[in-house]
Amino acid sequence: MPQRPDEPPTPQAGRHASSDAPVRSGLPVGHAAAGGPASPPKAEGGGEGAESSEGAAFWGGDDGDGGGRPRKKRWPRVLIAIGVFVVLVVAGIGGLIWQRQSSYNGNIHRIQGVMPSGKRPGPNIAGTENWLLVGSDSRADVGTTGDGGGKLWKPGQQRTDTIMLMHLPADRKKAYIISFPRDSYVQIPGYGKQKINAAFSFGGPKLLIETLENLTGIRIDHYGAIDFEGFKSMTDALGGVTVDIRQSVYDPARKKQWNAGRQKLNGEEALLFVRQRYNLPNGDFDRIKRQQAFLGALAKQAADGGTISNPLKLDRFLSAFTKSISVDSSESAGDLRSLALSLRHLRVGDVTFLTAPYKGTGMRNKQSVVFLDPAKAKALFEAVKTAGMPQYVQKYGGGHGIGTVS
């Protein structure tokens, strides 16, 4: 029957509904009204239409309704899940690091009233920092610094076996450590001329700092102390430290034979190594070199021995280190963290070890003493005060190597 012009066309048998088919119950034609999607139509003959349909389904371009509507993509949800997991892991690691930092900071013993009052040298060059580092020669069964318990200093019972001035330039690309022989004959405020290590016995850290500042004209910014027991625990935490001994030598005080060559020391052996004073070719000066060599070897082992890449080993070492040291009370956890970060690129080869210039030894008040060289020492101290250590080392030499000792 012919149609009227104003009537809509009637679909003919055998034809598919057009893409403009009406939507029933919110679903396009081709979906069951209440039972989900109907089967998608297949292109006849398995030709190009079939291949396109299968490819679209695989990549999420067709949700199977035959209408070409894109499938909801799942991979963004996978990435989001991975991202959330990473954030949680990072947050967990951050929490662990914070917890351990808090623990390390709690290990460190802080000493009140260390820095002198009254007249002192003027401020150092901006950005530079000077630390007085000492080692106690107490022979107590437990450490006298860090968490060793008790007071760090007991009048008349302790002297400083190791006295070092550590100078850090503003750029932190180098470090300079100057050792002072413990028998250096110097002026101690209120006590006259004495061996420098007696200052610690007379008046503790404060008097020692005052003595060093009067001697050098250098302002000491901070103070750090470690007991010999600290060397022992740190050495064991690293699994031993290797030193190179130039010549065989016997220690009569502790009945210990040291054979020439490379030797890996455990904690107890490290104590014997840094303590030996008798029968060394150059006496106390060789002991200074031993202490410097050991510190260099300890730092190298910590950096190169897989410690940093091994969380458990690193934790053992940092725990042993922080339990073994004491610092002045002005050093907060943030200050120490900033100092560590500023030195993170420093390598053992960037540290220069020197000994305060001396003229020789002699006797005073029936004691063997060391006479410092005023003229040469003045040049060294001036280089520290004016941040001129690179020029000083270039002119006078870089001190001793730390790999091989007597």
Query: pLDDT by residue (tens digit) across 16-67?
Result: 444 444 444 444 444 444 444 444 444 444 444 444 444 443 334 444 455 5
* Backbone angles phi and psi of 200, in degrees to 5: -65, -40
Domains of the chain: 108-405 (3.40.630.190)
Please tell me the number of Cα atoms within 13 Å of 201 on its side-chain side. Answer: 15
Whole-number Cα distances in Å, 114 to 86, 163, 221, 254, 277:
46, 16, 11, 34, 29
Task: For residue 370, give the 3-state DSSP assignment.
Answer: strand
Query: pLDDT by residue (tens digit) across 92-133?
Result: 444 445 556 778 888 888 888 889 988 999 999 999 999 999
Cα pseudo-dihedral 384, 217, 177, 345, rounded to 10: -50
106: Cβ–Cβ under 8 A, 6 or more apart, which residues? none
Q: How far apart are CA 241 and CA 258, in angstroms?
A: 15
Q: Residue 402: is it exposed, middle or buried by C-beta count within 10 angstroms (0-12/13-18/19+)? A: buried
Q: How far apart are CA 334 and CA 64, in angstroms?
A: 61
Whether the full predicted model's pTM is greater than 0.75, yes or no, is no
pLDDT band per the 50, 70, 90 thresholds, residue 72: low
Parallel, antiparallel or unpaired: strands 185-188 and 192-195: antiparallel
DSSP code, position 44: G
Q: Residue 211: is it exposed, middle or buried by C-beta count within 10 angstroms (0-12/13-18/19+)? A: buried
Parallel, antiparallel or unpaired: strands 325-328 and 222-227: antiparallel
Q: How far apart are CA 247 and CA 256, in angstroms?
A: 14
Query: pLDDT by residue (tens digit) across 281-314?
Result: 888 888 888 888 888 888 888 877 677 677 788 8
